[in-house]
Amino acid sequence: MLAKTTHVRYLIVTMLFIASTFSYGDRVVLSIAATDISRDLHLDALHLGYLLSGFAWTYAAAQLPAGGLLDHFGSKRVYGISILCWSTCALLCGMAGYLPAAAAFYALFALRLVSGLAQAPVFPGNGRIVAAWFPTSERGGAAAFFNASQYFSLVLFAPIMGWLVHTMGWKQCFWFTAAVGFALAALWFQQVHGVKTHPRISQDEIALIERGGGLANLDARLQNRRNTFTWAAIRWLLSKRMLVGIYLGQYCITTLTWFFLTWFPIYLTQSRHIPIAKVGMLAALPALCGFLGGILGGVISDLLLRSGRSLTFARKLPVVSGMLLAMTMVGCNYVNSSIAVMILMSIAFFGKGFGALGWSVISDVSPKELVGVNGGLFNLIGNLAGVTTPIVIGAIVKNTGSFRFALIFVAATALLAIVAYVPVVGEIKRLESAACTSQGVSA
């Protein structure tokens, strides 16, 4: 161990941010290329909605097993294998473009199902790593930083994907995603380690993490750890009103995420008649606001906590104010100017980012034996929105011929998130591990 004080935890959260950015880049590529794919494969809005939702079916379903794998085998190994698998799927998606239209549709849908399965450990892994590496007073900012990757991925990838689709075709977008994914996997295995096994960390930093409530021993003695993915554990977690409110709030917030990741670029193209070459650049502007909002929400939450405010107040205030701002997207129904639309969507993106503190909250409240499983359950329920949102919006657009009611639907879920966090969640506090053990949920 090094004698000097180190700050390796900031390197770790930067790796989480980079990995999550590439994960979301893989998810957003389909929406950027959607108009060209629809033309080539002869898809209507509802069939496109199903294709856009394919990823989320298995992504949501695999959250609980992914959490159990993370708790049993450790974050580094499971996460790294995840990166390799989703990059392989992206490579094959590009190759599927050479099949006949009907076969290409089913191949793409199947590969998106596999990609969702592969990426299931990403955000439970993020939450688990932050719980291990960061004291409570820094956890909000750390979680907000990696969670802001969903917006930064649009900032980074939307212009690149838009240019690739315009100049080369949609298949090249998937190949580009695969190439950067394989490079990321090599970087991940080189840089990421457990708190007490990292070659560059000092004893002072370890002590700081442990004194502040970080679970530095989370990956210790993995070979002797029991399986945490049990139905008794799931029932126990679902019996807690606070957690149920957090899960419901995450479903609502994730509905906004999946609108932005799937139908938002299509909305700009089809409803606002913006050429695909410009959509990538324009989509990046609101996404940048979402990125800034995401960082600011976590920073303000931690500042409130360090100033003496309760954990409940520090976490809930950004969520409520952010969701109120997100509801401004409804104003797009009443303006004709593309500039006004981008301003309103930028405000909504900022608010969604500002209020997306679910991962810091779940890191704050999870019993230490069930950090991975609880993160998996939380992400499972949240990402059911990845299944419902593309299909519901696709059905609305197909049956009404416009996005008017689609925007109302998305804004209404932001309002429901406020209801979930204010009256349902109640006080935010860590659940005691002794309570788990007493219920037969030992780890």
- What residues contact residue 67 under an 8 Å CB cut-off, 6+ apart? 121, 124, 228, 229, 372, 373, 374, 375, 376, 377
* pLDDT tens, position by position, 98-115: 888 788 888 888 998 999
| CATH architecture designation of domain 8-214+226-438 | Up-down Bundle (1.20)
* pLDDT tens, position by position, 367-414: 877 776 787 788 889 888 888 888 898 889 888 888 899 999 999 999
- Higher-pLDDT residue of 421, 72: 421
pLDDT for res 228: 57
* pLDDT tens, position by position, 259-280: 887 788 778 888 887 776 676 6
Distance of CA 186 to CAs 180, 183, 325, Å? 10, 5, 39
**CA 354/CA 110 separation, integer angstroms:** 34
Q: Work out whether the CA dihedral 91, 22, 391, 63 comes out positive or negative.
A: positive
* pLDDT tens, position by position, 54-66: 787 888 888 778 8
- Higher-pLDDT residue of 442, 102: 102
Does residue 439 have a pLDDT over 60?
no
Does residue 140 have a pLDDT over 80?
no
* pLDDT tens, position by position, 290-299: 888 888 988 8
Q: Are 409 and 256 spatial neighbours (Cβ–Cβ below 8 Å)?
A: no
Does residue 306 have a pLDDT over 60?
yes
pLDDT for res 443: 35
Helix axes 311-326, 276-306, angle to 10 degrees: 160
**CA 193/CA 141 separation, integer angstroms:** 21
**CA 245/CA 15 separation, integer angstroms:** 30
Enter the DSSP assignment of 213: T
**Among 440, 10, 9, which Cα is nearest to 231's?**
440
* pLDDT tens, position by position, 25-36: 887 787 777 778
Q: How confident is the model at residue 226 (pLDDT cuts 50, 70, 90)?
A: low
Conformational region of residue 432, where left means phi above 0, alpha means psi within -120 to 50, and beta covers everything else:
beta
**Among 32, 58, 38, which Cα is nearest to 398's?**
38
What is the number of other CB atoms lying within 10 angstroms of the CB of residue 197?
Answer: 10
Q: Are 381 and 251 spatial neighbours (Cβ–Cβ below 8 Å)?
A: yes
| Mean predicted lDDT score pLDDT of the chain | 83
> Which tokens hold the place of 348?
């909504």
**CA 97/CA 94 separation, integer angstroms:** 6
> Which tokens hold the place of 77?
């190994």
Q: How confident is the model at residue 227 (pLDDT cuts 50, 70, 90)?
A: low
* pLDDT tens, position by position, 312-367: 999 999 999 999 999 999 999 999 888 898 899 999 989 998 998 887 888 788 88
Does residue 216 have a pLDDT over 70?
no
Q: Are 224 and 442 spatial neighbours (Cβ–Cβ below 8 Å)?
A: no
**CA 123/CA 146 separation, integer angstroms:** 9
Distance of CA 378 to CAs 9, 26, 186, 359, Å? 24, 22, 29, 9
Q: Are 11 and 241 spatial neighbours (Cβ–Cβ below 8 Å)?
A: no
**CA 34/CA 43 separation, integer angstroms:** 10
Q: Are 65 and 376 spatial neighbours (Cβ–Cβ below 8 Å)?
A: yes
Mean pLDDT throughout 76-84? Answer: 90
